[in-house]
Amino acid sequence: MAHPQVVIGVDSSTQSTKALAVDTGTGRVLGEGRAAHRVDSRHGQESDPEQWWDALNTAVAATGWADRAQALAIGGQQHGLVTLDAAGRPVRPALLWNDVRSAPQAAELVQEFGAQWWAAELGSVPGASFTAAKWAWLRAREPANADRTAAVRLPHDYLTERLTGHAVTDRGDASGTGWWTPDGPHPAVLARIGLDPALLPAVAPTGTPAGRARAGGPLRPGTPIATGTGDNMAAALGLGLTAGAPVLSLGTSGTVYTVARTRPADPTGTVAGFADALDNWLPLACTLNCTLAVDRIATLLGRDREAVEPGGTAVLLPYLDGERTPALPHASGLLHGLRHDTTAGQLLQAAYDGAAYSLLAALDDVLAVDRPAGTTSAAGTAGSADTPDPAQPLLLIGGGAQGPAWQHTVRRLSGRPVQLPAARELVALGAAAQAAALLTGEPADAVARRWGTADGPVLPALERDDAVLERIATTISQTAALQSGGR
């Protein structure tokens, strides 16, 4: 019997590293490994990149296939600022995507160039999460560390370079920096934030390898290493996502995205104009507060996370870490509409509703990127084959996707059917598909479609709860000024 051709896909996330050994022929997971990370939240959201490397070695070894894998790729958390000295050592802990200390720098960048300019020139209006804002923060607050920096990397770049010795990145993850364009880093942005382009990795062409594994890592020397990509781009690969198919991911943060053929350009900043890991685009909206925030509310109420109750008039906005969508980086949680007869279960349901609302409100903007001119919404006129279909199931992924309360909330507030892909660890699977593509010559998304990663049960649509949607929208509008102030 022939031995399977095996690749390893890695998901280096905020809190842990996961690795999957996958049969390239069938997509069957043959081995898994995991190792935790520590996040330092004393001043912002920081993490030591050296522990990511240690966790990568541990997780890959735990798959049981490290010495036999024929290729590997890494999907990593987006936006994080990794600064290295001349010896390749971290200058300071990495600033993670959810560190909002750079919000003033992001606001200054938007004010100086204008939101329309950012949308037209770079496809995204930068917020606090974008790497450009984080570098501007470092320049302003820790100039000595900025001066010591000899290389600037994203988290997945750092790990890929440790494996191969080559400083390369991919268009997908690079598009979340705030300086990437298809023609190279934008000189006006780099000049404004004081970043030398020589400090940046090269962007490898789609489908090309980053290099081969060196001695001293978890793999056999010479093993091909794909360029890898950002976590959202890897998850899109892991689903084999096609243009216009909507995705809602429920994790520590929440995201909605799709694959588009048109470059996004949203001057409101709601939709980030990311590139995907192939040759298309990945319009995406993200919230900072999702499953972790709702679980925290459940703990405060002394209830199990599934112990929700219908009814009531309360609105609970669980903006426990500030918020990205809407753009309220200094916001905190807010409870409105409390009555004598409000129950704890209703408050918990209100937290679910508040967390899901912003994602679903942004979904139509995400899907509108490829919408023909003259159409009004996903529920409106079908102008072409690319016009989003409101009856198309919403792919529900992430840690919260298996929770009945999350499933019911998303169906109730979206009015859409919901599909639950049976595949788990989609970021690692997407990275595995990228590694497999090096061996088979297929596009990585075609590999995932061949594996059937998006297959799963479809839950029927529910009637949309417009009363709750209107109540939340009104509360956000009325309290925006209060929520925009500093801490």
Q: Which residue has the tokens 């994602």?
A: 359
DSSP for 70-85?
S-EEEEE-SS-BEEE-
Q: For residues 469 and 190, what is the distance between their CA atoms, to the nearest angstrom? A: 41
Write out the H or E segment, with its range, that includes residue 476.
helix 466-483
Q: At 35, list the tokens.
A: 């190792």
Q: Which residue has the tokens 């925030």?
A: 293
Which runs of E-coded beta strand occur in 154-227? Answer: 168-169, 202-203, 209-212, 224-226
Which residues on neighbouring strands pair with residue 394, listed in sequence order? 418
> Annotated catalytic, 276?
no
Backbone conformation region of residue 185, classed left if phi is above 0, alpha if psi is from -120 to 50, else beta: beta
Q: For residues 291 and 309, what is the distance between their CA atoms, to the nearest angstrom? A: 18
Which residues on neighbouring strands pair with residue 485, listed in sequence order? none
Residue 338 CA neighbour count, 13 Å, CB half = 9
Write out the H or E segment, with its range, that includes residue 136.
helix 131-141
DSSP for 392-424?
SPEEEESGGGG-HHHHHHHHHHH-S-EE--S--
Residue from 11, 231, 364, 365 carrying the catalytic annotation: 231
Q: For residues 446 and 93, what is the distance between their CA atoms, to the nearest angstrom? A: 37
Q: What is the 3-state secondary structure of 269-323?
A: CCCEEEECCCCCEEEEEEECCCHHHHHHHHHHHCCCCCCCCCCCCCEEECCECEE
Residues with catalytic roles: 231
